[in-house]
Amino acid sequence: MFRRLFIANRGEVAVRVARTARALGIETVGGASAADLDASWTRHLDEVVCLGPAASSQSYLDLEALVQAARQTGCAAVHPGWGFLAENARFAALCEQHGLTFVGPSPSIIERMGLKWPSKAAARASGLPLIPGSEGLLQSVDEAVELAREIGWPVMVKADAGGGGRGMRRCVDEESLRTGYAQASAEAQAAFGNGALYLERCIEGGRHVEVQVLGDRWGNAVHLFERECSIQRNHQKLIEESPSPALDAETRARVGAQAAEAARALGYCGAGTVEFLLDPATGTLHFMEMNTRLQVEHPITEETTGVDVVAEQLRVAAGARLSLRQEDVAAKGHAVECRINAEDPADGFRPTPGVVTAFEFPTHVGPGRVRVDSHVAAGDRVSPHYDSLLAKVITWGATRDEALDTMAACLEGASVEGVATTIPLHLAVLASPAFRSGTYSTAEIPGWPPVTDAAS
Catalytic positions are 293
Determine the longest span between alpha carbons in the chain, in angstroms: 68
CA 146/CA 186 separation, integer angstroms? 21
CA 105/CA 193 separation, integer angstroms? 23
Residue 104: which of 7, 23, 22, 194 has the closest Cα? 7
CA 56/CA 54 separation, integer angstroms? 6
Provide CB contacts within 8 A for 389, sequence distance 6+.
11, 12, 296, 339, 340, 341, 342
Contact between 79 and 100 under an 8 Å Cβ cutoff? The reply is: no
Let me know if 350 is exposed, middle or buried by CB neighbors in 10 A (0-12, 13-18, 19+): exposed
Helix (H, G, I), strand (E, B) or coil at 145: helix
Helix (H, G, I), strand (E, B) or coil at 134: coil
Contact between 33 and 49 under an 8 Å Cβ cutoff? The reply is: no
Print burial letters for 257-276: b (CB count within 10 Å at least 16), e (below 16): ebbbbbbbebebbbbbbbbb
The DSSP-derived string for 380-405 is -EE-TTS--EEEEEEEEESSHHHHHH
The DSSP-derived string for 79-128 is E--SSTTTT-HHHHHHHHHTT-EESSS-HHHHHHHHSHHHHHHHHHHTT-
CA 378/CA 217 separation, integer angstroms? 43
Let me know if 121 is exposed, middle or buried by CB neighbors in 10 A (0-12, 13-18, 19+): middle
Q: Return the beta strands (E) in 164-306 as ranges.
A: 166-171, 197-201, 207-215, 221-233, 236-242, 270-278, 285-291
